Amino acid sequence: MLRCPHLPPCDGCPRFGLPGIGAEAHERLRALAQRADCRLEPAVTGEPLGYRVRARLAVRGSAREPKIGLFQERSHNVVDIPRCAIHHPLVNQAAVALKAALRETGVAPYHDQRHSGLVRYVQVVVERPSQTLQIVVVCNSESADPVAPLFEALGARLGEQVHSLWFNGNTGKHNTIMGHAWRRLSGPEAIVEVIAGARVHYPPAAFGQANLDLFERAVASIHGFVPESARIVEYHSGVGAIGLGLVTEKRSLDCVEIAPGGLRGLELGRLDLSEQLRDQLRIYAGTSAAHVNLLGDADFVIVDPPRKGLELPLTEALCSLGAGSPRAHSARLAYLSCGLDSFLRDVDALLNSGQWRLSRLEPFAFFPFTEHVETLALLERA
């Protein structure tokens, strides 16, 4: 029987030990499949323990007794989780090393009410091929100078397990985790993962999936939908984790992304392509709404939006796709969702337009033991 040493009071895994996805999410997806006359595929699951290669953890307490973990729901109380069962072991090791470095240097963790102390959060990312750690320490400071001894102690404790160390400055009185001040103290600019045959670069400011093993299976499913020769448009492309592996001599890819970290990762991924393939990848900075014109020449569209779902102008453009381009009449759409409410809203709009039909619906348990579900849908022209 699975056991968690931090449950309770940690409430990060409310379904700990239960398989698959939550009953409510399953029922809502089943109802969509029934309305759309489409089979709901079984939930795709992976290893439930030690899968999380990316974590953002709050740092509170005192220099003598630091706490590194998650906030309890609707509170500023941090639950210390040094032996989290879902974290990759290296994530737990990094948290233990940071605690020791705080004690050793006397650098104080952040205090919410007093807006005092220095260390607010830590972001830890495991680069799977090298089994090394990209570590960002978020500080209540505009400069890394006040926490220089902490970084020295942390680097000394982790040694060769460090991929790179980063300072992030966030002095605001708000709940936003990352600030705008960045400084790389050691190591390469980005971690690199090979996904679907492509080298994908993750700078520390870029979004990345915490469950990369299961995410790769979703990417493989999407790639299986794409014709051998296709012009592909990807909205909310991030660092290109889905699309980069699709670039070939016969396939072109237009990527739309707004976040600076994602755009930088995309550019690094483009530079890793052969010179012959670089011209097959075009990067567009900005919102999806600003680049809906790319739909006109697309054979295949990929959308991977944040939890709020698609921007309304993109939804509207997809609902009227084909009005100005014969090519778009046969386009297909892969929608990878991380927000069930917005996904159901967007898919309802697409189906109600009469332009699309749902041909595949596949849930993924990217975050085992939670109510969260990620959903992959394939839509084809009606």
Active-site annotation, residues = 338
* CA separation for the pair 95, 83 (Å, rounded): 10
Contacts of 98 (CB under 8 A, 6+ apart): 59, 66, 68, 122, 135, 137, 154
Contacts of 192 (CB under 8 A, 6+ apart): 127, 129, 199, 200, 201, 202
Longest CA–CA span in the chain (Å) reads 68
- Single-letter code of the amino acid located at 188: P
The structure tokens listed for 78 are: 């941090």
3-state helix, strand, coil in the chain (%, to 5): 30, 30, 40
Contacts of 285 (CB under 8 A, 6+ apart): 257, 258, 263
* CA separation for the pair 197, 279 (Å, rounded): 18
Whether the CB-CB separation of 93 and 157 falls below 8 Å is answered with: no
Q: Pick the closest to residue 135 from 173, 185, 101 (CA basis).
A: 185
Residues counted in the chain: 382
* CA separation for the pair 46, 269 (Å, rounded): 27
